[in-house]
Amino acid sequence: MSANIRKIAIFVEETHREAGQRIDPPTRKAVAAAVIENPFAGAYVEDLSPLMDIGAELGGLLGEKCVAALGITAGEAESYGKAAMVGENGELEHAAAILHPKLGAPLRKAVEKGAALVSSSKKMGSPGQVLDVPLGHKDAAYVRSHFDGVEIRLNDAPRAGEILVAVAVTDSGRPLPRVGGLQAGQIKGEDGLR
Amino acid sequence: MPELIVRKTATACEEIFHEYGPAPDRPLRRAAALAVVENPFAGRYEPDIQPFMDDLRPLGLTMARRLVDMLGGPGEIEGYGKGALIGEAGELEHGALWHAPGGYAMREAIGGTRAIVPSSKKVAGVGARLDVPIAHVNAAYVRSHFDSMELGLADAPRRHEMLLALVMTTGARVHSRSGGLEAWEIKGEDGLR
């Protein structure tokens, strides 16, 4: 089963100043979201594998959209995240089926490598609600400068029988990182942690 | 005049394939460009504010050209709109300064459009959302192209800022069937029909 996509939205933000300091080059985040029909809305279905396949489809599609929107090469991506919001006739488990089993591999291909866990969030929601997508460094989860988040919200989604699926990619960390910890320049990028 | 201080820029692009009716051959695309700028008049009543329109002109052009690029060139653009959110230390009138630089920038980037650019503006707090109205670029009465796009940023506008927005679209509502003047019937001379 491939996803019945009603719409795709892509949001990019660039921060040029923070606390009066110039940020040059600006930090940049992209989040791409697909609004899809939930094939299992309104019923309890044991086998969620069709949603897992949809996750694989959307991981590649949305990851590539983010990289394209940032105008970077795949290798220039620095952090990523994923999230889903399920409309009221669905079930939280539907978000899990999309996000966890199969979405990561094609997303990693879109951002090159991606040794680290893709941080995630999920919730039930309604049109216009905010979905916060967590962000972490794509190759080393402990890089403190890249812990961040970006929100997505669409006034018309998710409707009761829909799921909003979002992937976020950045080419940078926070604008003025200064809380120490592991630095992006120090990572090995082998075990996904450091 | 004070230097134009831009804290943040953002773009949003929506591609709408269907709304559970028959999907059109080409999905409707809506794009928005946003800029968060320092409001040089925040916190006081300043009688002479018009010179700031000139300062906003290059920003408007940059934003308009960005939208045209995002949507695939001037020939693709069929609808437009603009809007402003003014942080609470400012005044509604400050948002009106965006009319000329925002509107004329879109006309220039698209290439001599005829219709008035519909707009909305309000004084608001951080995280506020703005519904930016959209209408046909050459004939304001084209019913299929009346639309809107909701915009906003989680961290703007701060008290001393303005959030400025431009919006462009590539066509009619995705299942447009409410009649009225159709895009293929317009003369495109007076900006209305």
pLDDT band at B2 (very low <50, low <70, confident <90, very high): low
Q: Is A151 on the interface with B (CB under 8 A)?
A: yes
> Which chain A residue shows the shortest CA-CA distance from B149?
A155
> Which chain A residue shows the shortest CA-CA distance from B34?
A13
A vs B: CB pairs below 8 A: 56
The answer regarding whether domain B6-185 maps to CATH 3.40.228.10 reads no
Are the Cβ atoms of B16 and A151 closer than 8 angstroms?
Answer: no
Which of A2, A4, A12 to probe the B interface (max B CBs under 10 A)?
A12
The answer as to whether A143 is a domain residue is: yes
Which of B5, B17, B29, B169 to probe the A interface (max A CBs under 10 A)?
B17
In DSSP notation, B79-102 reads EEEEEEEE-TTS-HHHHHTTHHHH
The answer as to whether A191 is a domain residue is: no
Mean pLDDT, chain B, rounded, equals 96
pLDDT of residue B3: 78
- Chain A residues near residue B14 by CB distance under 8 angstroms: 7-10, 154
pLDDT of residue B188: 86
pLDDT band at A71 (very low <50, low <70, confident <90, very high): very high
Which of A56, A21, A4 is CA-nearest to residue A161?
A4
pLDDT of residue A147: 96
Judged against a pLDDT cut of 60, whether residue B1 lies above it is answered with no
pLDDT tens by residue, A3-56: 999 999 999 999 999 999 999 999 999 999 999 999 999 999 999 999 999 999
Full residue range of the structural domain in which residue A72 is found: 5-186
Whole-number Cα distances in Å, A133 to A165, B95, B183, B193: 10, 31, 39, 44
Contacts of B11 (CB under 8 A, 6+ apart): A10, A11, A12, A13, A69, B31, B32, B33, B34, B66, B67, B70
Number of domains in chain A: 1
Which SS3 state, helix, strand or coil, does residue B10 take? strand
pLDDT of residue B112: 86
pLDDT tens by residue, B23-47: 999 999 999 999 999 999 999 999 9
The answer as to whether A194 is a domain residue is: no
CA–CA dist B81, B67 (Å, integer)? 12
CA–CA dist A143, A75 (Å, integer)? 17
Average pLDDT over residues A98-115: 96
A120 in Cβ contact with A134 (< 8 Å): yes
- Chain B residues near residue A6 by CB distance under 8 angstroms: 16-20
Complex-level ipTM beyond the 0.85 threshold: yes
Distance from CA of A5 to the nearest CA of B (A): 7
The answer as to whether A54 is a domain residue is: yes
Contacts of B44 (CB under 8 A, 6+ apart): none
- Chain A residues near residue B129 by CB distance under 8 angstroms: 155
Q: Where are the domains of chain B?
A: 6-185
pLDDT band at A158 (very low <50, low <70, confident <90, very high): very high
The answer as to whether A90 is a domain residue is: yes
